[in-house]
Chain A
Amino acid sequence: MLSIKNLQVELEEEDKQILKGIDLEIGEGEVHAIMGPNGSGKSTTSYVLAGKAGYKVTAGSAELYGNDLLDMNPEERAAAGLFLAFQYPVEIPGVGNMTFLRTAVNAQRKARGEDELSAGQFLKIVREKAKSLKIDADMLKRPVNVGFSGGEKKRNEILQMAMLEPKMCVLDETDSGLDVDAMKLVAEGVNALRDGKRSFLVITHYQRLLDHIKPDVVHIMANGRIIKSGGPELALEVEENGYADILAEVA
């Protein structure tokens, strides 16, 4: 479903290549993980997929179910089924979390030509999903992410994912800033969304998250390239030996 071919990306502001040819095929229902040292281009990959400004694609393609993602603006990518869980969710003072969620859900439904949810329908669904993520009514009322703890912000990302029901979920270091319990809660939220059709790309530094969200394939990224791919055991190898061995092996 997600097909990335030879993706090469530069920063728009300076002449610096960040991604040097990424190839990645993620099939329906699969969970892939990308691991790698700082500065390897993991987060850039997620931003470029979601359509963040500031990056210039110089070669390659990225398609979701055959639709050219790179040709769409960010809201079209979202409506096409792509979701990015942010490493640093943005605080938006003055916009209520509930209003935000409902606007997003209905904007996507509208873009896909579906009927918008009524306030009542929406409320019923959001309450149910918020409950399983231990998000209380107060968090739904507060402005988006304002004053949320690190764990609350990440749970809020997963709630958005659950409400928007994307086809392809990209999680950018969702485990950063989480304690063990919060990580478990977030992972349970993600696992609840695994239905055999929905696919996931989990970006992380650490193997720990992958104990909870079991990947089918693990990729190691370094210096703008995927240098090695394998099964879950690859993540364990990184956990034990760090990246040095793999980097040396490839070089």
Chain B
Amino acid sequence: MAIIHPKLSGAANLVANYPMPYGAKWANDIRTNAITAFNAQGAPHKRDEYWRYTDPSELTVVPTKPAALFSNDESPMFDLVDCIRIVFVDGIIDTDRSDDLSLIGASIEMLSDVTSTDIHWAKDLYGKLESNGQNPVHRPLAALNTAVAGHGLVIHVTSKCDKPLAINYVHNSETSDVMLHHIIKIDEGAEFTLLESGAGAARFNSVIEVDVSDDAEFHHVRTQGRDHERKTVTHLFGRLGHRSIFRSFTMTMNGILTRNDAVLEFTGDDAKATVAGACAGDGNNFHHDDTVFVTHDSINCESRQVFKKVLRNGATGVFQGKILVKADAQKTDGYQISQGLLLDENSNFLAKPELEIYADDVACSHGSTVGAIDEDALFYLASRGVPRKQAQDMLVLAFLAEAIEEIDNNDLANDIRDRLTAWMEHG
């Protein structure tokens, strides 16, 4: 009688849960390799080192539990920004609600079309950064995504884009279980801004692979919200060429489980990367995890990780951040800060900052703090007539401000600030 390893059977179960997309040979090969990798790793388990603080079972259970839809009358995210809009409803593009995808400076294709094409540049990027990012830390849910995601965008940026691309992920079915995979290739000297918003599905698994060539720039602002029962796992893989810039910011509200992985690798000298996040969690069914891995393998690069979490009524926030500086990556400047603000005694902030440095001429710093709201500041504001609730919101916003300031576009930063204020008001 065959003994089936419980992890393996969980993995097989998960793979079987998603229809296997069929494409050209190169795409099938990449997907088959990804399945092999995923089966070898097994589905993530809370015994795994990088899942110790976050129970992944909501991300691996088959079928996924239904998630109630969140309705509100708020204006669409980034509505004040002049951009090209694309709408995905439960993982499928809604062409009626999307703009014409002709964008000056970039070509945008559908993954499903691209993977059916025999010859396409995407064969050199699809699954590539994901597979590089599996070492030294396994990311099984990203491998699974590469294997079974049939939809997504394939973006080739050839110059400075005249407008950002804004993707809105609509959650419209209470049982949707969605895999999306985008790849973005930014040519030398080109610039691209990606904006993302929306819950996407009851369970939403997204992978984005971004190849930033020499002297190119990638800017990314994302909001995740506000469906209370949604489950989300995202992986953002980035490679940075010489003198390139990579900036990513995520704001998260609500959701029973959010896991955001960012995996960056510096392969060119003099490049700069920032990964930042602000989250506000309310209730013991809120769990939010940022896991970041930055590998410095080139000279004179700068990386920043800035994460702030406000937690109340039993909410949990997790930060696992690592800076790996390889032996030749001299003059590396690595910075990492993670801070939790607990508004009551029932909430938790769990942080695991890691530095692993093999070069001898580097400046790396990291800090992690957890604290309560400053009662003296609350009293000071109240003594000037500001009601307690409003005073607390002011201090919470002030706490999150440092992460929001990592967005270098003022309009976008102000948009995020305004939303956050409104979301804190309405939940």
Contacts and interface: CB of A to CB of B under 8 A. Distances in A.
A244 B379 CA distance: 35
Nearest to B379: A52
B395 A74 contact: no
Contact of B398 (A52, A86, A93): A93
Given A92-B395, A95-B398, A51 B380 contact: no
Please list the 6 inter-chain residue pairs (A to B) with the smallest Cβ-Cβ separation, ordered nearest first: A94-B398, A78-B385, A74-B382, A108-B385, A104-B384, A90-B380
A103 B380 contact: no
B383 A53 contact: no
Interface string B361-395: 00000000000001111011111111110110011
A193 to B, nearest CB: 16
Contact of B383 (A51, A95, A105): A51
Contacts of B399: 94
Contacts of B394: 95, 100, 103
A28 interface: no
| Residue among B376, B381, B385 with most chain A CB within 10 A | B385
Contact of A53 (B379, B381, B386, B397): B379
A73 B378 CA distance: 12
B376 A104 contact: no
A79 B385 CA distance: 6
B377 A90 contact: yes
Contacts of B55: none
Contact of B388 (A75, A84, A94): A75
B318 to A, nearest CB: 23
A94 B401 CA distance: 6
A86 B387 contact: no
Interface of A: 50-53, 73-75, 77-79, 83-84, 86, 89-95, 100, 103-105, 107-108, 111, 143, 160, 164
B174 interface: no
A77 B387 CA distance: 11
A164 B402 CA distance: 29
Contact of A90 (B376, B388, B390, B401): B376
A78 B380 CA distance: 11
Given A74-B379, A90-B380, A104 B398 contact: no
A104 B386 contact: yes
Interface string B34-65: 00000000000000000000000000000000
Interface of B: 374-377, 379-388, 390-391, 394-395, 397-399, 401-402
A52 B387 CA distance: 14
B385 A94 contact: no
A51 B382 CA distance: 9
Contact of B385 (A91, A92, A164): A164
25 contacts: A51-B382, A53-B379, A73-B388, A74-B379, A74-B383, A75-B385, A79-B385, A83-B383, A86-B380, A86-B383, A89-B380, A90-B374, A90-B380, A91-B377, A92-B395, A94-B397, A95-B398, A100-B381, A100-B384, A103-B386, A103-B394, A108-B385, A143-B398, A160-B384, A164-B384
Contacts of A104: 381, 384-386
A89 B381 CA distance: 11
A101 B382 CA distance: 12
Given A94-B398, A103-B390, A107-B387, A73 B377 contact: no
Contacts of A91: 377
Given A103-B390, A103-B394, A107-B390, A92 B380 contact: yes
A85 to B, nearest CB: 10
A200 to B, nearest CB: 17
A136 B375 CA distance: 29
A213 B388 CA distance: 33
A104 B374 CA distance: 18
Contacts of A90: 374, 376-377, 379-380
A131 to B, nearest CB: 21
A78 to B, nearest CB: 4
Contact of B382 (A75, A93, A94): A75
| Residue among A75, A86, A93 with most chain B CB within 10 A | A75
A111 to B, nearest CB: 7
Contacts of B397: 94-95
B384 A92 contact: no
A86 B397 CA distance: 24
Contacts of A73: 382, 388
A208 to B, nearest CB: 26
Contacts of A100: 381, 384, 394
B321 to A, nearest CB: 22
Contacts of B379: 52-53, 74, 90
A104 B387 CA distance: 9
A155 to B, nearest CB: 16
Contacts of A94: 395, 397-399, 401-402
B309 to A, nearest CB: 15
B304 to A, nearest CB: 18
Contacts of A92: 374, 377, 380-381, 395, 398
Contact of A107 (B375, B377, B385): B385
Given A94-B401, A143-B398, 15 more contacts: A50-B383, A52-B383, A74-B379, A74-B382, A75-B385, A78-B382, A84-B383, A89-B380, A90-B374, A94-B399, A100-B381, A103-B390, A111-B385, A111-B387, A164-B384
A78 B383 contact: yes
Contacts of A105: 385
A90 B385 CA distance: 15
B426 to A, nearest CB: 19
Contacts of A103: 386, 390, 394
Contacts of A78: 382-385
Contacts of B395: 92, 94-95
Nearest to B397: A94
A215 B99 CA distance: 72
